[in-house]
Amino acid sequence: MASPSPITVPAFAERKSSDQKLCMLTAYDFPTAELLDQSGVDAILVGDSLANVIQGRETTIPVTLDEIIYHAEIVCRAVKHALVVVDMPFLSYHTGIEQAIANAGRILKQTGCQAVKLEGNAGQAAIVSSLVDVGIPVMAHVGLRPQSIHQMGGYRVQRDRESLLRDAQAAQDAGAFAVVLECLPVEIAREITEQIRIPTIGIGAGNGCDGQVLVTHDMLGLSSGYTPRFVRQFANLRETARLAIEEYCQEVRTGKFPGNEQSYQ
Ligand code: KIV
């Protein structure tokens, strides 16, 4: 069977007007990216959530441009079909338009991804439009913005309807092709989705969005510690892996592994 053609930025954006919701998940390594791609996700996000799930950090603030490029290049080599979107790390797009273009350009050139994602309110619209002007597709991210966690005072549901509508509208007007809505009440997310022309991708924003994104480690039950309310664990791979590792140790210690099948004569 011929493999489906790669999903382009325009094709992703056009799904706004279809009744098939967009599915996006995160990946930071080759086997996970390959698995997601072969399982039919529409987009793969190399998120700065790698700070939490790969590096074991409390916040996404320490992630560097070099780190995200390292992971994104690996992911892009594994993906044949899905759109790959890469997060711009904290302070890689805030210190001037030229710097933002140079950094987003490095991400595109060195990884092979199709788009970048950046967190921002209406104040970041000029950055979005300058990236779009030079041909770099941008997915915006409004609502709870983990890179601004100290300013926002914690991982809380965002309820200021007017600013949320204004931020999403500003992202669209600046030329973003899609916008992530993180942690907002279902009715506000639905209203934004109805009012703007670009797809909304929700995380903790209810089912009125045009698509959904989750951190793969969370939805597969691989993460340890706190799980936000908006995560559904579709599997408990941590428990499956723990049982397998315990069995391995047991078999090694009792001399049952390796057996004849795993040995050369
Ligand atoms: O970094 C990330 O994984 C994200 C998603 C949670 C949207 O930004």
Q: How many Å apart are CA 73 and CA 69, to the nearest integer?
A: 6
Round the average pLDDT of the chain to a whole number and report it.
Answer: 97
- pLDDT exceeds cutoff 60 at 1: no
Does residue 251 have an active-site annotation? no
Distance (angstroms) between ligand 1 centre and the Cα of 28 equals 12
Report the nearest atom of ligand 1 relative to the CA of 49: 1
Pair of tokens at residue 106: 């490095």
Reported confidence tier of residue 17, pLDDT bands at 50, 70, 90: confident
Reported confidence tier of residue 3, pLDDT bands at 50, 70, 90: low
Give the C-alpha distances (Å, rounded to integers) separating 104 from 77, 97, 127, 173.
19, 10, 11, 20
Question: For the CA atoms of 28, 29, 35, 39, what is the dihedral angle to 10 degrees?
Answer: 20
The residue to mutate among 54, 182, 201, having the most atoms of ligand 1 within 8 angstroms of its beta carbon, is 182
CA dihedral sign, ordered 58, 123, 168, 132: negative
- The values of phi and psi at residue 116, to 5°, are -110, 160
Assign 3-state DSSP to the chain and report helix, strand, coil percentages, each to 5. Answer: 45, 15, 40
pLDDT, residue 77, reads 98
Q: How many Å apart are CA 204 and CA 255, to the nearest integer?
A: 48
pTM over the 0.95 mark: yes
Reported confidence tier of residue 214, pLDDT bands at 50, 70, 90: very high
Give the chain's domains with CATH numbers.
Answer: 9-234 (3.20.20.60), 237-265 (no CATH)
The residue to mutate among 117, 184, 220, having the most atoms of ligand 1 within 8 angstroms of its beta carbon, is 117
